[in-house]
Structure 1
Amino acid sequence: MNIAESSVRYPITVIVRVLLVIVFGYICLNFLSIELKPETEQPVLVIFTRFSGAAPEDVEGEVTTRFEEAISGVSNMLYTQSYSMIGQSIIVVFYKPGVNLDLAAAEIQRNLDRVKDLPREVDKPQIFKASDRVSLPVYQFSLTGKPDIVTMTTWAEKDIAPRIRRIQGVGDCQYDGGRNREMVITFDAERMKARGLTVSDLKRFIDRTNLNQSASYFVEGTREWSVRTVGELLSAEAFRKVRISKPGDPIVYLSDVARVEDKYERPDSYCRINGTEGLIFNVFNQVGSNLVQTVDQIDLELKKLQKEYGPLGASFRKTYDQSTYIRDSVRIVRDALIEAIVLVLLVLFLFLKNWRSIFIVATSIPVSIIGTFIGMYLLGYSINVLSLAGLALSIGMIVDDAIVVLENIYRHRFEEGKTIVRACVEGTREVGMAAFMCTLTTAAVFMPILMLRGEIGTLFGPVAFIISCAIFLSLFDAFTVVPMLASRWMTKPTEPSPLWRKVLAPLNLLDKIGSKVSQGLMTLLHYFLGGLRRKLALIAVVLVLFLVSYKILPGMGYLPTGGTNLLRINIETYEGLSLDENSRLMAILEDRWKNIKGVRHVVSTPNRMVFRNLIYLVCDPEEESGVSVQQIAQEAFRSSRDLPLKSVNPVRFPLFGNIYSRSNVVDVRIMGKSYDLIDGIVKQIMQIGAETRGVVFRYTDLYLRKPQVEIRVDQERAAHYGFDVKDVADAVEAAIGGQRTISQYDVEGRFFYIRVKEDENLFRSVADVANIILTSPQDSKVHVPLDSLATIVTTFGPLQINHYNAKRNARVQLTIQDRPLSEVFEEVVSRIRREVPFPLGYDMVPFGAVNELYKLVEAIRFVFPVSVLVVYLLLVMQFQSFLRPLSILLSVPLSIIGANFLVKATNIPLDSFTMLGYIMMVGLVVKNAILLITYAVQLIEHHGVSRDQALVLAAQRRMRPIFMTAIAMVLGMLPLALKRGAGAEIYNGLATAVVGGLSVATLFTLIFIPVVYTILDDLKNRWWKVKPLTLDEIDRTT
């Protein structure tokens, strides 16, 4: 008893199976998380270290290089990037996929603890999982209002950020714009000199006074007492009363020689939200969390915070919410899914004109879709744009097997006159192997995709699994539910009523058109089977079309270049501008950009570092404003041209990658030792970028024109007065930027720095620096001006020093528009190799999307041939022949012709998702050829029909199910090809390639495949005259 017969005899069992699939599928659906796309973040750790006031060269030498050496041998590390800037070192460590970052962080910490003798001003390094710092936040909100910025910073650190981090699904919450308190002790150099005091004396007295120290414990009877000396200073007044006189000298208090103020620390940046200073919070989600639910919980928490802090004058406002984009993306794909189902049902109605038959076939759709959720849950997949697109793409394929089985049952029942039960059993059995092989070959093309690793494997894997799972469930439905329902519901078509005839009248025209198309195809088939020259002429035409379609294809891109509604604009001012001047320029831009149509919020962060001035524009959806994010970016760029800015670079937060590694950016690194030589190379590359068509923005992270004052100490003269270089450096640092004491002061459990410095108003020129008075460490009565010990020189230095794998480098990025990434990269690199000389030891290394693109090309070179090979071997098994499957596989070039022409005509970028559509076609287009050749072989071998006549009969009898399934698949994918809006860039190219390829291949299959089959069969008969052995001959041979 086969599966079809069992299903016909035991319908209750089939119904229970279906209900179980639906129930468990629905349960699993409720446990699936919802997100924008599969998580593709690379495991990354960031080591952040503050080195207050230090120049980039000093940060590089004292911190970055030493830390890089310490972590060079950590396990599972791929590479490192580091940035040495004024006052801070950032080292980014990239790991292999799957690494446990908690264990990796512990290993990093152990290695860093071995680094000793760091300068006092170097803070303890912080290690955090921070790949998301350059990724898209899922939620952004602001804090503004009447309280001062220090109060709001205290709230943020002690309460707001921790509460947001505790929400389930939140990975981290970071805030910008905060400022901490600082006890600033501004000394008077003349008063210090008069009393014979130095900065070191001040710091020493403060540290010895501002002290809490434990003294172990003692036991009294049964009680244990701990002993602790308490002397910490808790207010500015307490600091003013610190005695700083030396033994034997008159009593001197700190207030006698210095001004003590509890104030803000000196800011490195500001943060403004719609023109109002405040704090901005960026929230990042945990991997695998349900983003939509997480955002809903943050909304609730924000309402609670407003209720608590509102009476204190605080105002919380949500500025950005990624769930809105996700909801829109999911809605669009869901609509495409529904539209695909409706279109497929219309196709069934067009061909079958029988509601019972339509219902029988349509049952496979909900069963297959809902059943797929079980597999998604078991493998940990989420509901996202890609997974829903996979379901939408499978709609046409889901009904494929059911259509083939039902059509054959119909023929056995009403054309051959068999009983309904026998027709269901034998009809299903007759096409069972062909249907199974069709489904197997479709799923087989995805097997190599499931073997891919990295970002491409993460993105493509779920799509491949979802489609494979859906079509296998539909195959099971075709073998069980379809014959079971057909045995009870299928009836002989009756003459429709007059009313129904009027309803169906418009379809008669379509029937006539279909009949004409069928007659035309049969005429062409007879014509091309009429002689060898005609056959070769057809093959030549197909070959020419294939070559032409290949030539017109554009260059390749990596991933879709679309993005979210958040625009990040990097504004570079000229080196040397103060923070206040940067802030003034940014305020002008804020005022202009808030009036651009489609801009909802403006968040700005002016910075001391000229390349870190950022403005975020939160944009309305294009459907609401009628203005795209790209148009807003262009308007923002145009409106900034009259300002003295070095560059304005708008970047839309991408769907894939991060703001520094985008799919429309040619990214190269120039490696070398001397920044002067690197600078020359970078300038030439930037000029080449300016002359390259399609390059709209240029960016480099090389900044060498930061004005600086160099103090070159004369060591002999300094030694004469008892100074060494360190003494001079400490004195200059204390006078201008200030020096921290070892101790800190405590305010309600938060510890703040104590800084000793001279009045900053005294330093307004280089001459003021030269007049700094130094007190000899050997004799406090000896005072020497700085220019007596050193030469004061004005020069320029780097604003930031970058390393890649501990080597100096500079980055050049060229943002492209309306041209493929591969074309621009090849053109730019070709010119660089010809026109830019590289000294020995200097080289250019591609990075980012370009690297990933070539990995993709290598992956496709593996996946596509392997997919074809797997399909071929499966066909060899089915036909027990190595030659017959070749005629079926030649339907693949037919599909490539259609896909190439449609991709070119619709201006779809040839990115990785479009290429996935090409791979899918391998499994889809061979299905029609399998049905055709399988039936022709049955006629030849079992019914004695001649070869050419069998091919014609097979084309006639299989034309209806071939057209029905092909049109169903094409129309099922058409909504995805035509959709626009949030996330549509992901699946437009994939669906377009499949629609074009399948449409052309279906028309050509009925003519081209029979012609090729006859040629291959003639060659076999002529050159391979081995006859199959009979059973008796096999026995005698054995």
Structure 2
Amino acid sequence: MNIAEASVRFPITVIVRVLLVLVLGYVCMTFLVVELKPDTEQPVLVVSTRFPGAAPEEVEGEITTRFEDNISGVSNLLYTQSFSPYGQSFVVMFFKPGTNLDLAAAELQRNLDRVTDLPSAVQKPQIFKASERVNLPVYQFALTGDVDIVTMSTWADREIAPRIKRIEGVGDCQFDGNRNREMRITFDPERLKARRLTVSDIKSFIDKTNLNRSGGYFIEGTREWTVRTVGELLTSEQFRKVIISKPGDPIIHLHDVAVIEDMYERPDSYCRINGVPGIAFSVFNQVGANIVHTIDLVDRELKSMNKEYGPQGAKLQKIYDQSMYIRDAIAIVRESLVEAIILVLLVLFVFLKNWRSIFIVATSIPVSIIGTFIGMYAFGYSINVLSLAGLALSIGLVVDDAIVVLENIYRHRYEEGKNIIRACVDGTREVGMAAFMATLTTAAVFMPVLLLRGEVGTLFAPVAFIISVAVFVSLFDAFTVVPMMASRWMREEKRPAGILKRVLAPLYFLDVIGGKVADGFMWSLGFFMGGFARKAFLIVFVVAVFGLSHWLLPGMGYLPTGGTNLIRMQVECFEGTSLDENSRLMEIMEDRWRSIKGVRHIVAIPNRNSFRNMVYLVCEREEDSGVAITTIQKQAAAAARDLPLKAINPIQFPLFGNIFSRSNVVDVRVTGKSYAIIESLVDQIMEIGKNTSGIIFRYTDLALKKPQVEIRVDHQRAAHLGFEVRDIADAIEAAVGGQKTTSQYDVDGRYFYIRVMGQEADFKTVSDVGRIILTSPRNPDIQVPLASVASVETTFGPLQITHYNSRRNSRVQFTIQGRPLGDVFTEVVSKINSTVAFPVGYTVLPFGAVNELKKLLDAVNFVLPLSVLLVYLLLVMQFQSFVRPLSILLSVPLSIVGANVLVRATNIPFDSFTILGYIMMVGLVVKNAILLITYAVQLMDEHGVARDEALMLASKRRMRPIFMTAISMILGMLPLALKNGAGAEIYNGLATAVIGGLSIATLFTLIFIPVVYTILDDIKALVWRVKPVDFDEAVAQGSPESTQPR
């Protein structure tokens, strides 16, 4: 008893199985994570180390290089980048996909512990996972109001950020614009000099006074008493009364030599939200978290906090919410999915015109789609734009097997006159192997795709997996549900009468047209089968068209360049520009940006480091404002063109990659030793970018002209006066930037720094630095100006020093528009090779998307041939022949012609997802050829029909189901090809390639494949010239001969 017969005999079992699939599928769907796209983040660890007051050269030499030398052996490490700006070191480590970052961090910490003898000012290195931090925040909000900035900063640090971090699904919450309090002790150098005191004395006396310490405990009877010494200073008045005189000297209070103020820290940055000072928060999700659910929880918490802080004069305002984009993107795909179902049902109605038959076939859709959720849950896939696109693409495929089975059952019942039970069993069995192999080849095409690693593999996998699962579920449905329902519901089609006849008359007229088309196809097939010359002409014509179609393909891109409605701008002022000047320039730009149509919110963060000025423009949806994000980018850059800026680089937050590696950016690194040579090379490459079409923005992180004052100590003179270099450096640091004491002061449980520094008014010019008073810590009577022991020189230095794999480098980025990434990169590299001379030890390296594009091409060169090979081997198994499958595979070149033509005609970018469409197409176009050749072989082998007659008869009988399935697949994918809006760029190219390939392949399959089959069969006969032995006959006669491969 085969599966069809069992299904007909036991319908209750089939119904229960369907209900189980529907129920379990629905339950699994409710547990699936909802997100924009699969997690493609590369595992990243960052080592952050503060070195207050140190210049980039010192940070590089004392910290960064030493760390890099000790971490190169960490397991699974791919490469490192490092950044050494003023006062801090960042070493960024990129690991292989799948690396356990917790284990990697533990190994990294062991390696860092081997680095000893760091300068005393260097703080403990901090290790954190940075995958989320270089990607798009899922939520941004702002804290503003009539509250002082320190209070808001306290709320942000102690209450708001911790509450947000505790929310389910939140990975991190960062904020900008906060200002902390500090107890600032501004000393008067002349008063210190008069009292023979030093800054070290002040710090020492404060630390000795501002102290709480446990004294242990003692027992009194049954009671235990704890002993504490409490001497901490809590107010500025208490600090003023600190005694700083030495034993035996007259009493000197701190206020005698300094001004004590409880005030703000000197700011490194400001933050404005829509022109109003405040604090901006960025929320990042945990990997694998349900983003939509997480954002809903953050929204709820924000409303709760507004009730608490509103009465105190503060307001928490949502600025950006990624769930809006996710919901829009998913809604568009769901809409496409519904439209695809309607179109497929319309196709069934046009062809079948029988509501019973339509219902039987249509059951495949919900069963297959909902059943797919079980597989998604079992293998950890989420609901995202790509997985839903895979479901939408499956709509036309899941009815394929049901149509073929039902059509064959219908033929056995009403053309061959069998009873309904026998027709269902025989009809299903006759096409069973062909349907199974056709479905298996579709899944086989995707097997190599599931083996891909990296970003492309992660993005392709959901589409490949979901389509494979859906078609297998639909195949099982076709073998069980269709024969079971047909055995009880199928009725012979009867022409309607009355008004229904007039309503459906156009459909029956289509049958007439279809008959004429079928006659045309059969005539064409007979014509080309009529002689060798005609066959040769057809082959040559197809080969020529196939070759010429490759000229239609545009240049390659990597991933779709679309993105969210959030623009991040790096506004780079000239080196040495002060924070207040940076802020003034940005205020001018903010006023201009507010007038740009489509801009909803502006978050501006001016920074003391001129290359770290950041702006976030939150834009209206394009369909609401009518303005494209790319237009806003250009207008934002143009609004700053007349201002004294070094560069401005508007970046649309991408769907794929991160803000440092985007698919519309040509990214190269110039590496070497000397920054003077690197600067010359970078200037030449930037000029190449200026003269290359398609490049709209140019950017380099090279900044070498930061004004700085260098103090060069005369060691002999300093030693003669009793000064060490460290004494001089400490005095300079204290006078100019200030030094923090070891102790801190407590305000309501929050501790703030105590800073001892000179008077800011004392430093207006460079020459003022030379007048800093130096007091010898060994002999307070020795007091001299700095200029007497050192020269004061002005020079320029780098804002930061960057490394790639421990070598100095500079990044050059070209943002492109209107040209494919591959074309621009090829042109840029060609110009670099022909015009830029690189000294020995200096080189330029491709980075980011261009590297990934190369990996993609290598992957395609692996996947496409392997997919074709797997399909071929499966067909060899089915036909027990190495020759017959070749005729089926030759439908692939036909499909490539169609895909090339339609991709070119619709101006679709030739990127990764379009290529996935080509791969998917291979499995789909061979299905029709399999149905055709399988039936022809059955006629020849089982019924003794002559070859040419069998091919003609197979084409005639399989024409209707072939056109039904092909049109169903094409119309099922049409909504995805035509959609615009959030995320549409992901599946437009994929669907367009499949539609183009399937359309041409279907039109030519019925003619070209039979012709090719006859040619290959004739060649085989000429080569082997041995008639195959009939196996059954040979066994019956006891023949020892083996069969000849066919």
Matched, 1:770 2:770: yes
Structure 1 range deviating more: 492-501 or 16-25: 492-501
Q: Distance in 1 between matches of 2:304 and 2:371?
A: 40
> C-alpha deviations, 1:215-243, integer Å up to 9, x for none?
44455555554443322222211111111
Q: State the secondary structure of the residue aligned to 1:255.
A: helix
**Mapped partners of 1:624, 1:66: distance in 2:** 53
Q: Distance in 2 between matches of 1:221 and 1:83?
A: 62
The one-letter amino acid of 2:207's match is: D
Which residue in the other structure is 1:706 paired with?
A: 706
- CA drift at 1:111: 3.4
Deviation string, structure 1 residues 850-901 (Cα, Å, up to 9, x no partner): 1111111111111111100000000000100000000100001111111011
| Number of the residue aligned with 1:73 | 73
Distance in 2, Cα, partners of 1:120 & 1:765 = 30
Shift in CA distance, 509/586, structure 1 to aligned 2, threshold 3 Å? farther
Kindly provide the amino acid, as one letter, of the partner of residue 179 in structure 2: R
* Matched residue, 2:938: 938
Aligned pairs (5 A) from 1:533-572: 533-572=533-572
- Partners of 1:139 and 1:245 lie apart in 2 by 54
1:262-277 alignment to 2 at 5 Å? 262-277=262-277
Q: Deviations over 1:627-664 (max 9, x none)?
A: 11111112112222121112221110000110110001
AA of the residue aligned to 1:794: T
**Aligned runs of 1:91-490 on 2, under 5 Å?**
91-219=91-219, 223-490=223-490
Q: Deviations over 1:307-365 (max 9, x none)?
A: 00111100110000000000000000000000000000000011111111100000000
Other-structure match for 2:507: 507
Matches of 1:877 and 1:275, distance apart in 2 = 71
Decide whether aligned partners of structure 1 residues 800 and 181 sit closer, same or farther in structure 2, where only a CA change above 3 A counts: same
Shift of residue 181, structure 1, vs aligned partner: 1.1
Q: How does 1:450-849 map to 2 (within 5 A)?
A: 450-849=450-849
Decide whether aligned partners of structure 1 residues 393 and 667 sit closer, same or farther in structure 2, where only a CA change above 3 A counts. same
Work out whether residues 599 and 618 of structure 1, in 8 Å CA contact, stay in contact via their aligned partners in 2.
yes
1:1025 shift after superposition? 2.1
The one-character-per-residue Cα deviations of 1:718-762 (angstroms, maximum 9, x if unpaired) are 111112222221111111111111222222222221111101121
**Counterpart position of 1:1036:** 1040
* Equivalent-residue separation in structure 1 for 2:725 and 2:285 (angstroms): 49
Amino acid at match of 1:444: A
- How far apart, CA to CA, are the structure 2 residues paired with 1:843 and 1:169? 43
> Aligned partners of 2:179, 2:52: CA distance in 1, in Å?
15
Between 558-567 and 221-230, report the one with greater CA deviation. Answer: 221-230
- Please list the CA deviations of residues 815-840 of structure 1 after superposition, one character each: whole Å capped at 9, or x if unmatched: 11111111111111111111111111
Compute the RMSD of aligned alpha carbons. 1.4
After TM superposition, the structure 1 stretch with the greater mean CA deviation from structure 2, 305-314 or 950-959, is 950-959
Equivalent position amino acid for 1:382 in 2: S
Kindly provide the amino acid, as one letter, of the partner of residue 813 in structure 1. Q
- Deviations 1:572-597 (CA, angstroms, capped at 9, x unpaired): 11111100000011111111111211
State the distance in 1 between where 2:637 and 2:450 align: 43
Instruction: Give the deviation of 1:180 after TM superposition.
Output: 1.1
Please show how residues 45-60 of structure 1 align to structure 2 within 5 Å: 45-60=45-60
Secondary structure, counterpart of 1:444 in structure 2: helix
Give the Cα separation in 1 of the matches to 2:220 and 2:1026.
108
Q: 1:51 Cα shift?
A: 2.0
Alpha-carbon separation, structure 2, partners of 1:935 and 1:113:
72
SS at match of 2:743: coil
Are the equivalent residues in 1 in contact too, given 2:424–2:483 (CA < 8 A)? yes
Shift of 1:29: 0.7
* Percent sequence identity over aligned pairs: 72
Alpha-carbon distance in 2 for matches of 1:867, 1:226: 77
| Counterpart for residue 913 of structure 2 | 913
- The residue that corresponds to 1:41 in the other structure is 41
Bigger shift: residues 86-95 or 412-421: 86-95
Per mean C-alpha deviation after superposition, the further-off stretch among 190-199 and 456-465 is: 456-465
Instruction: Give the superposition deviation at 1:475.
Output: 0.3
Secondary structure (helix, strand or coil) at the match of 1:616 reads strand
My pick for the range that moved more, 401-410 or 640-649, is: 640-649
**1:832 is paired with a residue of what secondary structure?**
helix
- Amino acid of the residue matched to residue 446 of structure 1? F
Matched, 1:29 2:33: no
Counterpart AA for 2:49: T
Post-superposition Cα deviations, 1:37-77, rounded to whole Å, max 9, x if no partner, equal 01111111222222222211122122222332343332232
Gaps of 5+ in 1: none
**2:140 aligned counterpart, secondary structure:** strand
1:12 counterpart letter in structure 2: I
Question: By how many angstroms is 1:1037 displaced?
Answer: 5.1
Q: Secondary structure at the match of 2:399?
A: helix
Q: Residues 347-387 of structure 1, C-alpha deviation per residue, up to 9 Å, x if partnerless?
A: 00111111111000000000000000011111111110000
Secondary structure of the residue aligned to 1:595 is coil
Give the letter for the 2:452 counterpart.
L
Residue 862 of structure 2: aligned partner: 862
Alignment: residue pair count: 1038
Deviations 1:391-443 (A, max 9, x none): 00010000000000000001111111110111100000000000000000001
C-alpha distance in 2 between matches for 1:602 and 1:557: 31
Matches within 5 A, 1:964-975: 964-975=964-975
Deviations 1:498-521 (A, max 9, x none): 211211122244334323322222
Q: Which amino acid in structure 2 is aligned with residue 863 of structure 1?
A: V
Paired letter, 2:287? V
Q: 1:527 to 1:974 in 2, by over 3 A?
A: same
Question: What letter matches 2:173 in structure 1?
Answer: C
Report which stretch shifted further, 943-952 or 752-761: 943-952
Larger CA deviation: 1020-1029 vs 96-105: 96-105
AA aligned opposite 1:620: E
TM-score (norm 2): 0.98
Letter paired with 2:520:
G
TM-score with structure 1 setting the length = 0.98
After the TM superposition, which parts of structure 1 deviate over 6 Å for at least 4 consecutive aligned residues? none
Residue by residue over 1:147-171, the C-alpha shift from the partner in whole angstroms, topping out at 9 and shown as x without a partner, is 1111111001111011111111111
CA distance in 1, matches of 2:495, 2:1003: 32
SS for the counterpart of 1:1012 is helix
Residue 20 of structure 1 corresponds to: 20
1:871 is aligned to 2:875: no
C-alpha distance in structure 2 between counterparts of 1:798 and 1:500, whole Å:
83
The secondary structure found in structure 1 opposite 2:46 is strand
CA deviation profile, 1:697-716 (whole Å, cap 9, x unmatched): 11111100111111111111
Equivalent residue, structure 1, for 2:1002: 1002
* Aligned partners of 1:121 and 1:740 also within 8 Å: no
Amino acid at match of 2:213: Q
What's the secondary structure of 2:780's corresponding residue? coil
Cα distance in 2 for residues equivalent to 1:89 and 1:592: 35
Q: Using the alignment, how far apart are the partners of 2:371 and 2:784 within structure 1?
A: 85
